[in-house]
Amino acid sequence: MFSRLSYKAQRKITIVLFLFLPLLFLIVFTFIPALNMIYYSFTSWDGFSSVKKWIGLRNYFRIFTDSDYFMPLFNSLYYFFGGIIQIVLAFLFASILNTKVIGKSFFKGLFFFPYLINAVAISLMFMAFFQPDGTLNDVMKFVGLGHFTQMWLDNPHLNNFCLAFTSVWYYFGYNFVIFLGAIQSVPNDVIEAASIDGATEWQKTRFITIPSVANIIKLNFILDISGAISAYTIPYIMTGGSNGTSTFVIKTVDTAFTLTHVGLASAMAVVVLIIVAITTIASNGLIKGDD
């Protein structure tokens, strides 16, 4: 019976059959739980009781009016701006290593190596680095800056900068490899034509390379926003969220599983979802790339 159908009909049926199972999993494991989470965000629920009391927008008002919940969201700015610096540096070094540089294969491996290490191990390593008797203070004493030594992770004015620096150091190699691959895909004949016309390296980067990799810049920007809001492993291991270093995800997990305020935690998760969605839409409009 299937063989009697036209090629066009067979093609449509084949596509539907191949998409059915993935779409079913997507609906069951993504869309339905997401809709349930949105519903829970309008309730006061402890995660165990069969009764879910409808309270409207009260959870959302609490997130933006209670400093205990808003400040962790504000702390995401440290990771966001750190991510912007990380993107700029990754693009800069990728551009440099795309030229004829001695030992560039060595530097490629060197830059990417930290990303191969587990985030927990990186966090423990930098905990030792920032300790009062750790590497950073020892180096500062060695170069004559001993009076600037700090208890870095206990100082509320510096600890978030230390955590953001650790995150930048860890994820730099990932952005670097993505940018390097994108830059290497730019046609050489276009670059050579610009060189013949007398274009400087900055002009070639500005008018050829950046427009050519605009979609990759957009992708990294979106990942930066989502990563800043969802920062968890590094701050949780290094400080446990103490001394004003709690991130929005740490607070969300604590609210859901320690305080058992699942309704409020669901509202926090919806806020993250909305911020990422707005960022994605805005980046599509602001950063123009090839379709």
| Mean pLDDT in residue range 80-86 | 91
CB count in 10 Å sphere of residue 266: 24
pLDDT digits (tens, 9 = 90+) for 247-273: 989 999 999 988 889 999 999 999 988
CB count in 10 Å sphere of residue 255: 23
**Looking at residue 291, what is its pLDDT?**
47
> In whole angstroms, what is the distance from residue 57 CA to residue 244 CA?
27
Decide: residue 277, CB within 10 A, 0-12 exposed, 13-18 middle, 19+ buried.
exposed
Q: Is the pLDDT of residue 10 over 80?
A: no
Please list the alpha-helical segments (H only) found in the chain. 7-26, 32-40, 58-65, 67-97, 104-116, 119-129, 135-142, 159-184, 188-196, 201-204, 210-212, 214-229, 233-238, 248-257, 262-286
- Within 13 Å and on the Cβ side, how many CA atoms surround 157? 1
| Mean pLDDT in residue range 164-183 | 91
Q: Is the pLDDT of residue 50 over 80?
A: yes
Residue among 202, 227, 21, 232 at smallest CA distance from 95: 202
What percent of the chain clears pLDDT 70, i.e. is strictly above it? 96
- Domains of the chain, each with CATH number or no CATH: 66-286 (1.10.3720.10)
Alpha-carbon 84 to chain mean position: 11
Contact by Cβ (8 Å): 252, 75:
no
pLDDT band at residue 3, thresholds of 50, 70 and 90?
low
**Looking at residue 286, what is its pLDDT?**
64
pLDDT digits (tens, 9 = 90+) for 116-140: 998 999 999 999 999 888 888 888 8
> In whole angstroms, what is the distance from residue 281 CA to residue 10 CA?
36
Higher pLDDT, 96 or 148: 96
Q: Is the pLDDT of residue 7 over 50?
A: yes
pLDDT digits (tens, 9 = 90+) for 208-252: 888 888 888 888 888 888 888 888 999 999 998 888 899 989 999
- Within 13 Å and on the Cβ side, how many CA atoms surround 181? 8
Q: Is the pLDDT of residue 2 over 60?
A: no
Q: Which of the residue ranges 8-22, 114-128, 153-167 would you say has the lowest mean pLDDT?
A: 8-22
Decide: residue 128, CB within 10 A, 0-12 exposed, 13-18 middle, 19+ buried.
exposed
**Looking at residue 268, what is its pLDDT?**
92
pLDDT band at residue 276, thresholds of 50, 70 and 90?
confident
Higher pLDDT, 227 or 26: 26
Q: What is the pTM of this model?
A: 0.83
Mean pLDDT of the chain: 86
Residue among 287, 265, 244, 241 at smallest CA distance from 71: 244
Contact by Cβ (8 Å): 87, 224:
yes
Contacts of 246 (CB under 8 A, 6+ apart): 71, 72, 75, 235, 254
What percent of the chain clears pLDDT 90, i.e. is strictly above it? 34
**Looking at residue 203, what is its pLDDT?**
83
